[in-house]
Amino acid sequence: MSSNAENPTTQTKVAQKTAANKKWGDEVMKLGFCMIPSLIFRAQRRLGLNPTQLAILLQLADYWWEADNKPFPSKQSLSERLGIGTRQIQRYIADMEKAGLVKRIERFGDDKRKLSNHYDLSGLVERLRLLEQEFTDLEKEVKAKRQKVSRPGGLQQ
């Protein structure tokens, strides 16, 4: 008979259960997850992203695991995930490149054969960094107003 107190492996597994696992379930989380700052959603309009462009960026982010290793999904993979044509993927990425959010970097194999592009998202990262202060200031302002209206006398003081 073994209890959790006697089995350190079980204790470790229980302790490792994250908020995400509790929210989404272990089976779902076993398939992977992607770290995306909430600001990308809050600033979607400020970034000039339509819903499909945002979806493409989210897909690229899902392939981007380490800061120094740029994602390189094929247009076909993105097309299959999103249910739109590869030509549409190419056009939307070109538009985001013109906006300075994404940079396509060609890759070639040892045999000089063209491979899927690397996608540099540093433009997006920089734009989010520039917008961060504005969004932070706005949140502080809203919080201060909420505190003020919750006091007796409200905004009249």
Where are the chain's structural domains?
26-149
Q: Into which CATH architecture does domain 26-149 fall?
A: Orthogonal Bundle (1.10)
142, two tokens: 């809203």
pTM given for the model:
0.77
Size of the chain in residues: 157
* Blockwise average pLDDT, block size 10, the chain, 157 residues: 53 62 91 92 96 97 88 96 98 98 94 93 96 92 88 65
Q: What is the pLDDT of residue 15?
A: 46
Maximum separation of any 2 CA atoms in the chain, in Å = 75
